[in-house]
Amino acid sequence: MSQKTMSKEEYLNKAKDLNKDAGAPKVLEDTDFFTVAKERRSVRQYDPTVKISEEEIRELLEVATQAPSSSNLQPWRFLVIQDQAAKDELLPIANNQQQVVEASAVIAVLGDREGYKNAERIFGELVEMGRMTEELKNTYVNSITQGYGSFPAERLSKIAMIDGGLVSMQLMLAAKAKGYDTVPMGGFDQEKFVEAFRVPENFEPVMLIALGKGAKAGFEKSRLPLDEVLQWNKY
Protein backbone atom coordinates (compact mmCIF):
# COMPACT_ATOMS: atom_id res chain seq x y z
CA MET A 1 0.00 0.00 0.00
CA SER A 2 1.25 3.46 -0.91
CA GLN A 3 2.33 5.72 1.97
CA LYS A 4 1.28 8.88 0.12
CA THR A 5 -0.75 11.37 2.13
CA MET A 6 -2.46 14.71 1.50
CA SER A 7 -2.60 18.00 3.30
CA LYS A 8 -5.76 18.71 5.26
CA GLU A 9 -6.97 21.15 2.61
CA GLU A 10 -6.32 18.66 -0.22
CA TYR A 11 -8.07 15.90 1.71
CA LEU A 12 -11.18 18.00 2.37
CA ASN A 13 -11.47 19.25 -1.21
CA LYS A 14 -10.56 16.07 -3.08
CA ALA A 15 -14.01 14.53 -2.70
CA LYS A 16 -15.67 16.95 -5.12
CA ASP A 17 -12.89 16.40 -7.67
CA LEU A 18 -13.63 12.68 -7.66
CA ASN A 19 -17.29 13.38 -8.40
CA LYS A 20 -16.93 15.60 -11.47
CA ASP A 21 -19.24 13.54 -13.69
CA ALA A 22 -22.11 13.44 -11.20
CA GLY A 23 -25.46 14.89 -12.16
CA ALA A 24 -27.64 17.11 -9.99
CA PRO A 25 -28.91 15.68 -6.71
CA LYS A 26 -31.96 13.45 -6.98
CA VAL A 27 -35.28 15.23 -6.64
CA LEU A 28 -37.41 13.29 -4.19
CA GLU A 29 -40.98 12.59 -5.21
CA ASP A 30 -41.62 10.86 -1.91
CA THR A 31 -40.47 12.59 1.26
CA ASP A 32 -41.42 9.98 3.83
CA PHE A 33 -38.77 9.58 6.54
CA PHE A 34 -37.15 6.39 5.25
CA THR A 35 -36.78 7.78 1.73
CA VAL A 36 -35.27 11.02 3.00
CA ALA A 37 -32.85 9.19 5.30
CA LYS A 38 -31.70 6.85 2.53
CA GLU A 39 -31.39 9.52 -0.15
CA ARG A 40 -29.59 12.22 1.86
CA ARG A 41 -26.05 12.79 0.59
CA SER A 42 -23.16 14.98 1.64
CA VAL A 43 -23.20 17.51 -1.20
CA ARG A 44 -20.10 19.65 -1.78
CA GLN A 45 -21.01 21.54 -4.96
CA TYR A 46 -23.84 24.07 -4.91
CA ASP A 47 -25.66 26.43 -7.23
CA PRO A 48 -24.50 29.84 -5.95
CA THR A 49 -27.46 31.60 -7.59
CA VAL A 50 -29.99 29.89 -5.32
CA LYS A 51 -30.69 31.87 -2.17
CA ILE A 52 -32.69 30.31 0.65
CA SER A 53 -34.82 32.85 2.46
CA GLU A 54 -34.52 33.61 6.15
CA GLU A 55 -38.09 32.34 6.55
CA GLU A 56 -37.19 28.95 5.07
CA ILE A 57 -34.06 28.65 7.20
CA ARG A 58 -36.08 29.44 10.30
CA GLU A 59 -38.60 26.77 9.31
CA LEU A 60 -35.83 24.18 8.98
CA LEU A 61 -34.33 25.15 12.33
CA GLU A 62 -37.74 24.99 14.01
CA VAL A 63 -38.04 21.39 12.86
CA ALA A 64 -34.45 20.63 13.84
CA THR A 65 -34.99 21.87 17.39
CA GLN A 66 -37.63 19.22 17.93
CA ALA A 67 -34.67 16.87 18.47
CA PRO A 68 -34.17 15.37 21.93
CA SER A 69 -31.55 16.71 24.33
CA SER A 70 -30.11 15.86 27.72
CA SER A 71 -32.74 16.76 30.36
CA ASN A 72 -34.53 18.73 27.62
CA LEU A 73 -32.07 21.57 28.15
CA GLN A 74 -31.69 22.26 24.41
CA PRO A 75 -28.10 23.57 24.58
CA TRP A 76 -27.83 24.02 20.80
CA ARG A 77 -27.21 27.47 19.39
CA PHE A 78 -27.03 28.46 15.71
CA LEU A 79 -25.01 31.07 13.89
CA VAL A 80 -26.40 31.43 10.34
CA ILE A 81 -23.73 32.79 8.00
CA GLN A 82 -25.48 34.08 4.91
CA ASP A 83 -23.71 37.31 4.03
CA GLN A 84 -21.23 36.71 1.19
CA ALA A 85 -18.49 38.74 2.86
CA ALA A 86 -18.84 36.65 6.01
CA LYS A 87 -18.68 33.44 3.96
CA ASP A 88 -15.56 34.74 2.23
CA GLU A 89 -14.03 35.34 5.67
CA LEU A 90 -14.96 31.83 6.73
CA LEU A 91 -13.46 30.18 3.62
CA PRO A 92 -9.77 30.05 4.71
CA ILE A 93 -10.81 29.11 8.26
CA ALA A 94 -12.61 26.11 6.73
CA ASN A 95 -9.62 25.01 4.67
CA ASN A 96 -10.92 26.63 1.50
CA GLN A 97 -13.81 24.21 1.07
CA GLN A 98 -15.71 25.83 -1.79
CA GLN A 99 -19.15 24.86 -0.50
CA VAL A 100 -18.62 27.51 2.17
CA VAL A 101 -18.93 30.30 -0.41
CA GLU A 102 -21.17 28.54 -2.95
CA ALA A 103 -23.92 27.32 -0.62
CA SER A 104 -26.79 29.65 0.25
CA ALA A 105 -25.79 29.59 3.91
CA VAL A 106 -23.44 27.97 6.36
CA ILE A 107 -24.99 27.15 9.70
CA ALA A 108 -22.58 26.92 12.59
CA VAL A 109 -24.02 24.56 15.17
CA LEU A 110 -22.77 25.46 18.63
CA GLY A 111 -23.24 23.86 22.02
CA ASP A 112 -23.78 25.97 25.15
CA ARG A 113 -21.89 24.39 28.04
CA GLU A 114 -24.00 26.53 30.38
CA GLY A 115 -27.30 25.52 28.83
CA TYR A 116 -28.40 24.03 32.14
CA LYS A 117 -28.85 27.57 33.45
CA ASN A 118 -32.04 27.77 31.36
CA ALA A 119 -33.69 25.01 33.39
CA GLU A 120 -35.95 27.42 35.29
CA ARG A 121 -37.31 28.91 32.09
CA ILE A 122 -37.72 25.58 30.27
CA PHE A 123 -39.47 23.76 33.09
CA GLY A 124 -41.39 26.89 34.06
CA GLU A 125 -43.05 26.76 30.66
CA LEU A 126 -44.20 23.21 31.41
CA VAL A 127 -45.90 24.54 34.54
CA GLU A 128 -47.64 27.22 32.47
CA MET A 129 -48.80 24.52 30.06
CA GLY A 130 -50.26 22.52 32.93
CA ARG A 131 -47.87 19.64 32.32
CA MET A 132 -46.02 19.92 35.62
CA THR A 133 -46.69 21.23 39.12
CA GLU A 134 -44.67 24.10 40.55
CA GLU A 135 -43.34 21.79 43.27
CA LEU A 136 -42.13 19.19 40.77
CA LYS A 137 -40.63 21.90 38.60
CA ASN A 138 -38.62 23.22 41.53
CA THR A 139 -37.35 19.73 42.27
CA TYR A 140 -36.25 19.27 38.67
CA VAL A 141 -34.58 22.66 38.46
CA ASN A 142 -32.73 22.21 41.76
CA SER A 143 -31.50 18.77 40.72
CA ILE A 144 -30.34 20.01 37.32
CA THR A 145 -28.64 23.10 38.72
CA GLN A 146 -26.77 21.12 41.35
CA GLY A 147 -25.98 18.18 39.08
CA TYR A 148 -24.92 19.92 35.89
CA GLY A 149 -23.35 22.75 37.86
CA SER A 150 -20.97 20.27 39.47
CA PHE A 151 -19.95 18.56 36.23
CA PRO A 152 -16.37 19.12 35.02
CA ALA A 153 -15.94 21.13 31.82
CA GLU A 154 -15.16 17.98 29.84
CA ARG A 155 -18.49 16.40 30.68
CA LEU A 156 -20.44 19.56 29.89
CA SER A 157 -18.61 19.73 26.58
CA LYS A 158 -19.50 16.12 25.79
CA ILE A 159 -23.17 16.77 26.53
CA ALA A 160 -23.15 19.83 24.28
CA MET A 161 -21.50 17.87 21.47
CA ILE A 162 -23.94 14.97 21.69
CA ASP A 163 -26.98 17.22 21.71
CA GLY A 164 -25.47 19.32 18.93
CA GLY A 165 -25.04 16.19 16.85
CA LEU A 166 -28.67 15.23 17.35
CA VAL A 167 -30.00 18.60 16.24
CA SER A 168 -27.58 18.70 13.30
CA MET A 169 -28.78 15.40 11.89
CA GLN A 170 -32.38 16.50 12.22
CA LEU A 171 -31.55 19.74 10.40
CA MET A 172 -29.93 17.89 7.50
CA LEU A 173 -32.88 15.52 7.14
CA ALA A 174 -35.34 18.42 7.26
CA ALA A 175 -33.37 20.21 4.54
CA LYS A 176 -33.45 17.14 2.29
CA ALA A 177 -37.20 16.77 2.80
CA LYS A 178 -37.60 20.40 1.63
CA GLY A 179 -35.53 19.81 -1.50
CA TYR A 180 -32.24 21.28 -0.29
CA ASP A 181 -28.84 19.72 0.27
CA THR A 182 -26.28 19.85 3.03
CA VAL A 183 -22.85 18.70 4.06
CA PRO A 184 -21.57 18.62 7.66
CA MET A 185 -18.06 19.97 8.14
CA GLY A 186 -15.67 19.37 10.99
CA GLY A 187 -12.60 20.40 9.02
CA PHE A 188 -12.17 23.97 10.19
CA ASP A 189 -9.95 25.82 12.63
CA GLN A 190 -12.17 26.13 15.68
CA GLU A 191 -10.00 28.65 17.48
CA LYS A 192 -9.89 30.97 14.48
CA PHE A 193 -13.60 30.53 13.91
CA VAL A 194 -14.44 31.44 17.50
CA GLU A 195 -12.24 34.52 17.30
CA ALA A 196 -13.35 35.72 13.87
CA PHE A 197 -17.06 35.29 14.50
CA ARG A 198 -16.98 36.44 18.12
CA VAL A 199 -18.48 33.24 19.51
CA PRO A 200 -19.23 33.51 23.27
CA GLU A 201 -16.71 31.60 25.37
CA ASN A 202 -19.30 29.21 26.82
CA PHE A 203 -20.34 28.15 23.29
CA GLU A 204 -18.46 25.28 21.72
CA PRO A 205 -18.41 24.68 17.95
CA VAL A 206 -20.00 21.34 17.07
CA MET A 207 -19.88 21.53 13.27
CA LEU A 208 -20.52 23.71 10.27
CA ILE A 209 -23.32 22.73 7.88
CA ALA A 210 -23.44 24.05 4.32
CA LEU A 211 -27.03 24.47 3.16
CA GLY A 212 -28.17 25.13 -0.37
CA LYS A 213 -29.31 23.70 -3.69
CA GLY A 214 -26.85 21.09 -4.85
CA ALA A 215 -25.32 21.46 -8.31
CA LYS A 216 -23.87 17.95 -8.29
CA ALA A 217 -24.98 14.95 -6.26
CA GLY A 218 -22.89 13.62 -3.43
CA PHE A 219 -21.26 10.20 -3.57
CA GLU A 220 -23.40 7.12 -3.52
CA LYS A 221 -23.29 5.79 0.01
CA SER A 222 -20.85 3.05 0.92
CA ARG A 223 -21.52 1.52 4.31
CA LEU A 224 -20.04 -1.29 6.35
CA PRO A 225 -22.29 -4.37 6.44
CA LEU A 226 -24.74 -4.13 9.32
CA ASP A 227 -23.50 -7.39 10.84
CA GLU A 228 -20.03 -5.86 11.22
CA VAL A 229 -21.34 -3.03 13.38
CA LEU A 230 -24.17 -4.80 15.17
CA GLN A 231 -23.99 -6.85 18.35
CA TRP A 232 -26.91 -8.04 20.48
CA ASN A 233 -27.05 -7.76 24.28
CA LYS A 234 -23.32 -7.81 25.19
CA TYR A 235 -19.87 -7.67 23.70
17 within a domain of the structure (yes/no): no
Q: Among residues of the chain, what percentage have pLDDT more than 70?
A: 93
What mean pLDDT do residues 133-140 have? 97
92 within a domain of the structure (yes/no): yes
What mean pLDDT do residues 87-111 have? 98
162 within a domain of the structure (yes/no): yes
What mean pLDDT do residues 69-73 have? 97
46 within a domain of the structure (yes/no): yes
Residue 210: which CATH number?
3.40.109.10
192 within a domain of the structure (yes/no): yes
Domain of residue 201: give its range: 28-110+153-218
Assign 109 a pLDDT band (cuts: 50, 70, 90): very high
What is the model's pLDDT at position 11? 65
What is the model's pLDDT at position 24? 79
233 within a domain of the structure (yes/no): no
What mean pLDDT do residues 114-143 have? 97
The number of distinct structural domains making up the chain is 1
> What are the pLDDT digits (tens) for 167-203?
999 999 999 999 999 999 999 999 999 999 999 999 9
146 within a domain of the structure (yes/no): no
70 within a domain of the structure (yes/no): yes
User: Would you list the DSSP string of the chain?
Assistant: -------HHHHHHHHHHTTTT--SPPPPS---HHHHHHH--B--EE-TT----HHHHHHHHHHHTTS--GGG---EEEEEE-SHHHHHHHHHHTTT-THHHHSSEEEEEEEETTGGGGHHHHHHHHHHTTSS-HHHHHHHHHHHHHHHHTS-HHHHHHHHHHHHHHHHHHHHHHHHHTT-EEEEE--S-HHHHHHHTT--TTEEEEEEEEEE-EEEPPPPP----HHHH---S--
What mean pLDDT do residues 213-221 have? 88
Question: Is residue 153 over pLDDT 80?
Answer: yes
